[in-house]
Structure 1
Amino acid sequence: MRITRVGPGVVSAVALVAAGLAGAGVATAAPRPSAQDDKVQIVTVHASTQKERSAVDALGLDTTEHADATGVDVVLHGAADVARLRASGKRWTVKVADLAAVTRANARKDKAYAASVAMSQLPSGRTSYRHLADYNAEMAALAQKYPTRVKPLTLENTSVLGKPVHGIEITDNAANIKDGKPVFLMMGAHHAREWPSSEHALEFAYDLLESGDARNAGLLKNMRTIVVPVVNVDGFEISREASPIGDFGTFDYEMKRKNCAISAATPAPYIPGTCDNNLAGRLRGTDPNRNYPGFWGGPGASTNWRSDTFRGDAPGSEPEVDNIRKLVSGRQVTNLITNHTYSNLILRPPSLASTGFSPDEIKYRALGADMAEHNDYANIPSFGLYDTSGSTEDWSYWNTGGLGFTFEIGTEGFHPTFETGVVAEYAGLAPAAGAGKGGNREAYYRMAAATVDPSMHSTITGKAPANTTLTIRKTYQGMTSPVIQPNGTVGAPIPFTDVLTSSLVGKGGAFSWAVNPSTRPLVAGRYGRDPVAPTQPSAPIANPAGIPAVNGSEFSNVTIQGLPTYDNGKVLFTFGWTGPNPDPNVDWDFYIYDSAGNQVASAATLANPEIAAALDPVPGGYRVEAINYANGASADWTGTMSFEPPTPAIVTGVKETWNLTCENKQGKVMGTRSIVVDRGQSVDVGNPCNRKK
């Protein structure tokens, strides 16, 4: 049995056994078919690199967002999926041997919890999962209770099935949407079956309005929070109202992930019927989080209409996706969180490794780390999980400049027990990773603080007469990824048009207007930095005396130095032993941990040598764990730590402008300006309504 080493926030095999959820836990390359194959399972497919995890995602199985440096979790829906995984030659470990049994047990626990607890520790006191009608009713009630602080919001498009998509806007004097405040957008349920994502979004609304937190007054005064708890209303309602079958199969609609669109590629026999009663079952539809036009059509999204990650027929084709695009594009959304389940992750752009780090990587990573201090989630770029294309914050960031994150909530499935997946994760209670640290509640408050922070966005100041409207606007043609075709060939990128615009009403006198930078990150260039010092010299990694038993470990300590002496863009840990590559007889695995015990790199393949890498390593002490996975006594290892310089910056030098106009009450243009403003910068435009200045 391979003992899986996991970092903070990642569920271990030991925890699953303790919870009664794990199977045998045996990693295997080609198990014989058995009765177990017919059960719905969660397995961890061994994949120690981003490239290997992306290859797992490309198998067309039900890949979850749960992954770490050792592998990626996949839901196997019976023998056909097991056979496909077996044919790939990949090894896997069974984590949940009978998912249907776990689902039934969770339902019993939810019923018992709701019956035994009058009020939970959530700001709303809720004790059970909401239905779509509950969300809509509670948002309407909050608007009625706080008429000056809550404005009802109905997004522009109805859903595929014609349902309205509702939200609320929260701030002092909420009715004035042209107030110039920075905007924090909080979303849930892009994926229908991920029920905790919606619960967390709405609970933060209750926190801002009713918790009595001392920070609320300042946040309500200085920022606007928009909460859209259910983006994919059709899929969510079907999932939430389904009579559970428990087999997670084609017709177990509780496990629906996608919306209710019918692709043009859908074969004729699967077109008739309703979204919750058709021959294709829950598999008909488009994955909204693969449909955003930014980088649409690239790796990490399926061309197959049946796949849970089907990207849709065209970039931005889905009305639910278009809703969020228009909201973000028209409101200067400077900060965004889209909630999902599950994996205990805080993900930031880029979603494709080939994109390269963003120009804001240092600031982005620091903000993620600030939030992760409270929920103890892993703070990584999205491609660190595996490549995805067409995701929400990847479009939002690169095309508008707003700082967006995905939260992957919890470790126990798409909708675990309410007590653990919602109450504990939100409030920071055991058994959540953020227990005692504030949980997601505090992480959301940190994002709210970043929304108010002027260093995180741009600011336009000046003076404007009363009854005038200032509008900034930008129209541009973006491009998708080179589009992967159903036959595997790659076609040309597809152009798409975005319009970024927002307005401020002049009150007569000075104004301050929070906006996103005028130059979009996609235009500004990719992250990089010119080295300011040499790299640290290579050094051997000491191998302790003796050899551990099979599956046993030994440890070595190393030190990475930094500025001003050395500027290290990458550290490579290389381990080898006498033998061929790959070595069928000997297998050492290696994991590297920082001074806090967080896993920062791993090398756990069949290769000889094994190579682990970490970008922009933080100076300090590190611990190297060497595991004798197979027959290490016959060939002991040697190791080297080497360094590479930073990748030089790629900067286009192109500056985009905001095109600002001032109109009077009758709609007459009184003046115009072209504004260049960077993140963290404030630009005074004087009186833009005066043509002479």
Structure 2
Amino acid sequence: MYAIGLVLVLVATINAGKHDQYSGYSVHGVKLRDDSDKVFITELTDSLDLDVWQDGVAGARDALVMLDPNSRLAVLDELDARGIQHYLHLRDVAQAFETHDEQINQWKQSRSGRLVPFNDYPRYAEVDAYLETIAAQYPELVTLVNAGQSYEGRDIKYLKISTTNFTDTSKPIYFMDAMIHAREWVTTPTALFSIHRLVEDLRDQDRDLLEDIDWIILPITNPDGYEFSHDDTRLWRRTRSINLEVSDTCFGVDGNRNFDVNWNTTGVSQDPCSQTYPGTSAFSEPETRILRDIFDEYIDRMEIFMNIHSHGNWVLYGFGNETLPPNAIHLHLVGAAMGAAMDAMKLPEADWYKVGNSAMILYGTSGSAQDYGQLVGVPLSYTLELPSYGFDFRVPPEYIEHINRETWEGIAVTARLARTTFRARQ
């Protein structure tokens, strides 16, 4: 009994210091009055390499910026000098993450033996086991594909879901991926829930989605970063590749700036320690090359691509340099239908979904998965930003089930519209 108690004390001690690297850090909300305020905040955060937790929209949504103890007073003084209102969102980032860890542990304990991966924050091994199980139990519908390995050697797997084993060329393909940004934990459960609804819990009203559409679902694009965000640095966003010619202290690349579309031009930093570092070249990362290869293999039938992120209630489409694809009106209409379907189920504390060109309503980017999908010929390519209910990257686990159900309704709407447009083009 003494030995067990000692182990528990040691575990508690280790966990208590897990987020010490964020001690003294705080997060501040910033109210933007107009586009000039937004430009000012962007320039300020870029010059100081601040971690932006949420990009603001003038008059609509506040920005959230994390500040360290050394820069906090200087940044807040800059905001005061410009007359920009700000407020304290999180007093102690380290404590906030410790509290979130406790919430997750309590959630798991309270549902011991009844918890499924799509209603939890599952680790990489749990997700891998779930994919293996689904493929083994439903071989007539599901094919498990090992698409390759991450930089650190983890298998990156996806499921192909089809009643015809992808042989019917009259069916469009819906490609969905999640967790390209490691700290956005709530995205993987949404992808897993989509698998669940198509395979384990197919309902009569959704039978057309399985019979008329082929699906590719990749729940963890960046497994190295995801595991690192659990074990070491909670706010880790990038991959975990090492390039000693660039830096011997800062590792990884922003996977969503690493695609070969206007690469390294907008919304990136040349600092290899930055959250938006695009790498030394497009597709420098094995993780983004895997997505590229999926596009290449299935582009003839791929009608829709959904790149799932968190957070902010956005449905975004290209291009990130403020230019529009020829089918921008159609992109907007389908995106708006998705947003409306999800808004119909929203919780009161959630923002309404906003739909539009990613650069025009949010911020400019280059090298994104969304833009690459559009560039190579996917008619409907989107970035979906899930809700956070004011909890930023710390969405309490009791919200996951609602996010899953709400998002599934949006996915179902876009799938049916994609099927219609695919048939119209044949």
Q: Tell me the TM-score normalized by structure 2.
A: 0.82
Listed as ranges, the matches of 1:93-172 within 5 Å are: 93-117=87-111, 124=116, 126-155=118-147, 157-172=148-163
Counterpart of 2:425, as a letter, is Q
String of CA shifts for 1:112-165, please: whole Å, max 9, x gaps.
333334698x9x58553101011111011101111010000111x421112221
Note if contact 1:45-1:56 (Cα within 8 Å) is conserved in structure 2: no
Offset of residue 72 of structure 1: 2.4
Pair 419,359 (structure 1): closer, same or farther in 2 beyond 3 Å:
same
Out of 385, 389, 398, the residue aligned to residue 375 of structure 2 is: 398
Pair 65,153 (structure 1): closer, same or farther in 2 beyond 3 Å:
farther
Offset of residue 263 of structure 1: 3.6
Separation in 2, partners of 1:195, 1:359: 34
1:113 match: secondary structure? helix
Pair 329,159 (structure 1): closer, same or farther in 2 beyond 3 Å:
same
Separation in 2, partners of 1:57, 1:289: 19
Offset of residue 313 of structure 1: 0.6
Separation in 1, partners of 2:73, 2:157: 40
Question: Does residue 350 of the first structure (1) align with residue 303 of the second (2)?
Answer: no
Tell me the equivalent position of 2:52: 63
Tell me the equivalent position of 2:280: 313
Listed as ranges, the matches of 1:396-435 within 5 Å are: 396-411=373-388, 412-420=391-399, 422-427=400-405
Question: Does residue 39 of the first structure (1) align with residue 18 of the second (2)?
Answer: no
Tell me the equivalent position of 2:69: 78
Listed as ranges, the matches of 1:478-557 within 5 Å are: none
Note if contact 2:253-2:276 (Cα within 8 Å) is conserved in structure 1: yes
Q: List alignment gaps of at least 5 residues for structure 2.
A: 1-21, 344-352
Separation in 2, partners of 1:213, 1:125: 20
Pair 126,118 (structure 1): closer, same or farther in 2 beyond 3 Å:
farther
More strand by share: 1
Tell me the equivalent position of 1:672: none
Give % identity: 23
Pair 443,262 (structure 1): closer, same or farther in 2 beyond 3 Å:
same
Pair 56,289 (structure 1): closer, same or farther in 2 beyond 3 Å:
farther
1:253 match: secondary structure? coil
Out of 292, 298, 322, the residue aligned to residue 325 of structure 1 is: 292
Separation in 2, partners of 1:387, 1:143: 39
Pair 209,57 (structure 1): closer, same or farther in 2 beyond 3 Å:
farther
1:79 match: secondary structure? coil
Question: Does residue 337 of the first structure (1) align with residue 313 of the second (2)?
Answer: no
String of CA shifts for 1:267-311, please: whole Å, max 9, x gaps.
4xxx3xxxxxxxx4xx52101001111011112111110001111
1:111 match: secondary structure? helix
294-303 vs 76-85, which deviates more? 76-85
Tell me the equivalent position of 1:235: 225
Separation in 2, partners of 1:446, 1:226: 17
| Structure of higher CA gyration radius | 1
Listed as ranges, the matches of 1:24-35 within 5 Å are: none
Tell me the equivalent position of 2:425: 681
Equivalent pairs counted in the alignment come to 382
Separation in 1, partners of 2:381, 2:179: 16
Separation in 2, partners of 1:284, 1:393: 24
Note if contact 1:302-1:310 (Cα within 8 Å) is conserved in structure 2: yes
Pair 338,228 (structure 1): closer, same or farther in 2 beyond 3 Å:
same
Separation in 2, partners of 1:101, 1:340: 24
1:184 match: secondary structure? strand
Separation in 1, partners of 2:204, 2:112: 26
Tell me the equivalent position of 2:366: 389
Tell me the equivalent position of 1:445: 412
Q: Tell me the TM-score normalized by structure 1.
A: 0.52
For CA contacts below 8 A with separation 6 or more, give which structure has more relative contact order.
Answer: 2
